[in-house]
Amino acid sequence: MKQIIHIASRELSTFFDSLTAYVLIVIFLGFSGFFTWVYGADIFFVGQANLNTFFMVAYWSLFIFIPALTMKSIAGELKAGTLELLLTKPVSDWQLILGKFLSTLLLIVIALAPTVIYYFTLWAIGPVDHSAILLGYVGLLLMSMVYISIGLLTSCIASNPIIASLTALSIGIFFHIIFDVLAANFVGFLGSFFSYMSLSTHFESISRGVVDTKDLIYFLSIVFFCLFTSKMILSNRNL
Amino acid sequence: MAKRKNLIYTSIVVAGILIILNFISSIFFFRADFTEDKRYTLDRSTKRILREVELPIIMTLYVSENLPPDVNRTVQDLKNLLTEYNNYSKRKIDFEFVNPNANEEFEQEAIEAGINPVPLEVREKDQIKVQRVFLGMSIQVGDKSEIIPLIKPGIVMEYTLSTLIKRLTIKDKPKIGYITGHGEPSLDKLGQAMTELSVLYDVEPIHLLAEPNLSDYKSLLLIGPMATISGSQLRRLDAYLAEGGNLFIAIERVNGMLNDGIGVTVNTGLEVWLQTKGLYVDDSFIVDKKCGTVTVQQQGYFSYPQQINFPFLPVVSKFADHTITDGIETVVFQFASPISFTGDSTLNYQPLAFTSDISGKLSAPISFNIGRVWRAQDFLHPNLTVAAAISGNMGGEKEARICIVGDGNFIVNGYGASKIAIQRDNINFLANAVDWLSDDTGLMSLRTKGVSSRPLSEITDGRVFFLKYLNFLLPLVSVIAYGLFRFERRRSKRTKRMKPGFIK
pLDDT in tens, B254-269: 999 888 889 999 999 9
- In angstroms, the separation between the Cα of residue B84 and the nearest Cα of chain A is 15
Q: B69 and A233 in contact by Cβ < 8 A?
A: no
Do residue B468 and residue A37 have CB atoms under 8 angstroms apart? yes
List all residues 6 or more positions away from B2 whose beta carbon is below 8 Å from its beta carbon.
none
- What SS3 state is found at B446? helix
Residue B475 contacts A where some CB pair is shorter than 8 Å: yes
Q: Which residues from B are below 8 Å from A149, CB to CB?
A: none
Query: Best residue in A22, A50, A187, A200 to probe B by mutation, most B CBs within 10 Å?
Result: A187
In degrees, to the nearest 5, what angle opens at C-alpha B490 toward C-alphas B487 and B491? 85
Please tell me whether residue A10 adopts helix, strand or coil conformation: helix
Among candidates A48, A233, A236 on the partner chain, residue whose Cβ is nearest the Cβ of B455: A48
Predicted local distance difference test score (pLDDT) of residue A239: 45
Alpha carbon B376 to chain centroid distance? 32
Question: What ipTM was predicted for this assembly?
Answer: 0.87
Task: Give the C-alpha separation, B8 to A229, whole Å.
Answer: 9
Phi, psi at B63, each rounded to 5°: -130, 130
Chain B residues with CB inside 8 Å of A217's CB?
21-22, 25
Rounded to whole angstroms, the Cα distance separating B390 from B203 reads 23
Cα–Cα dist B358/B186, whole Å: 35
Query: Model confidence over B340-399: pLDDT tens digits?
Result: 999 888 899 999 999 999 999 999 899 988 888 888 888 999 999 999 999 999 888 889
Average pLDDT over residues A65-88: 79
Report DSSP state, residue A48. Answer: B
d(CA B138, CA B135): 11
Secondary structure of residue A217 in the 3-state scheme: helix
pLDDT on residue B19? 92
Which among B82, B258, B57 has a CA at the least distance from the CA of B142?
B57
Instruction: Give which of B475, B479, B454 is closest to A117, Cα–Cα.
Output: B475
Are residues B31 and A224, on separate chains, in Cβ contact within 8 Å?
Answer: no
- The gap between the terminal CA atoms of chain B, to the nearest Å, is 51
Helix, strand and coil percent figures for chain B, each rounded to 5: 35, 25, 40
- Condensed to tens digits (0 to 9), the pLDDT of residues A157-192 reads 887 889 999 999 999 999 999 998 888 777 677 877
Q: Do A184 and B123 touch (CB under 8 A)?
A: yes
Binary contact (B486, A211; C-beta < 8 A)? no
Instruction: Determine the distance in angstroms separating the CA of B221 from the nearest CA of chain A, rounded to an integer.
Output: 35
Asked if A211 and B123 come within 8 Å (Cβ–Cβ), the reply is: no
Single-letter residue type at B191: G
**Residue numbers in A near B68 (CB within 8 A):** 184, 187, 191
Query: What is the distance between the alpha carbons of residues B145 and B57, in angstroms, rounded to a whole number?
Result: 10
Going B142 to B145 to B151 to B156, the CA torsion angle's sign is negative
Contacts of A61 by beta carbon, 8 Å cutoff, 6+ apart:
A27, A28, A31, A32
Nearest to B29 among A201, A213, A229 (CB): A213
Q: Do B68 and A191 touch (CB under 8 A)?
A: yes
Q: Which residues of A touch B65 (CB under 8 A)?
A: 188
Are A194 and B18 within 8 A, CB to CB? no
pLDDT in tens, B102-156: 888 888 888 888 888 888 877 665 667 778 888 899 998 888 888 888 887 766 7
Asked whether the beta carbons of residue B18 and residue A188 sit closer than 8 angstroms, the reply is no
- For chain A, what's the residue count? 239
Average pLDDT, chain A: 88
Alpha carbon distance B460, B458 (integer Å): 7
CB contacts < 8 A (A, B): 172
Q: In chain B, positions 18-77, which contact chain A (CB-CB < 8 Å)? A: 18, 21-22, 25-26, 29-37, 39-40, 65-70, 72-73
Distance from CA of B164 to the nearest CA of A (A): 27
The alpha carbon of B133 is separated from its chain's Cα centroid by a whole number of angstroms, namely 30
User: Smallest CA–CA separation between B127 and chain A, in Å?
Assistant: 9
Which residues from B are below 8 Å from A30, CB to CB?
476
Distance CA B304, CA B150 (A): 39
**Range scoring the smallest mean pLDDT among A96-100, A222-226, B302-306, B428-432:** B302-306
3-state secondary structure labels for all residues of B488-502: HHHHHHHHHHHCCCC
Distance from CA of A10 to the nearest CA of B (A): 15
Cβ separation A212–B15 shorter than 8 A: no
A114 prior amide bond cis, ω within 30: no
Chain B contact set for A12 (CB, 8 A): none
Q: What residues of chain B score a pLDDT lower than 70?
A: 1-2, 123-127, 154-155, 300, 302, 440-442, 444-445, 448-453, 503-504
Beta B246-250 vs B219-223: how paired, if at all? parallel
B478 → chain A, closest CA residue: A114
Contact A30 B18 (CB under 8 A): no
Rounded to whole angstroms, the Cα distance separating A194 from A184 reads 9
- Asked if the Cβ–Cβ distance from B456 to A187 is below 8 Å, we say no
Nearest-CB residue to A126 (from B10, B457, B490): B457
The per-residue b/e assignment along B107-122, b for 16 or more CB within 10 angstroms, e otherwise, is bebbeebebebeebeb
Cβ-based contacts of A43 with chain B (< 8 Å): 456
Q: What is the pLDDT of residue B373?
A: 87
CB contact at 8 A, B265 and B364? yes
DSSP state of B249: E
Range B456-459 contact pairs with CB under 8 angstroms and sequence separation of 24 or more: B456/A43, B456/A44, B456/A47, B456/A48, B456/A49, B456/A125, B456/A126, B457/A125, B457/A126, B458/B290, B459/A125
- Please give the residue of chain B at the shortest CA–CA distance from A239: B3
Give the residue from chain B lying closest to A13, CA to CA.
Answer: B486
A16 → closest Cβ in B124, B457, B486: B486
Task: Give A81→chain B minimum CA distance, Å.
Answer: 22
Q: What pLDDT score does B71 carry?
A: 80
